Amino acid sequence: MPPPRPPSPLPVNYTPNIVAGLVACLAIVVGSLGPWATSLSVGVAGTEGDGKITLVLAVRTDTEPYR
């Protein structure tokens, strides 16, 4: 008789949480890269100012569950 398997480190219903987290990180990345404000002659890109910070944090958070 084989020895019993060790318990799984993740609960059974963990997959929806991973999917929701990945979708949220993807939305943050899109928001960081897209235009934040536009006018007739002036536009502010998402990567100006804090957009770079949110982009780095979203990518870092997105890859964290797989470590």
Residue 10 is predicted with a pLDDT of: 66
Q: What is the pLDDT of residues 8-57, one digit of tens each?
A: 676 667 778 778 888 888 888 888 888 777 788 888 877 777 778 888 88
Residue 65 is predicted with a pLDDT of: 60
Q: Specify whether the CB–CB gap between 35 and 45 falls below 8 A.
A: yes
**Model's pTM, two decimal places?**
0.62
Q: 3-state SS string over the chain?
A: CCCCCCCCCCCHHHHHHHHHHHHHHHHHHHHHHCEEEECCCCEEECCCCCHHHHHHHHHHHHHHHHC
Find residue 37's DSSP bridge partners: 44
Residue 61 is predicted with a pLDDT of: 76
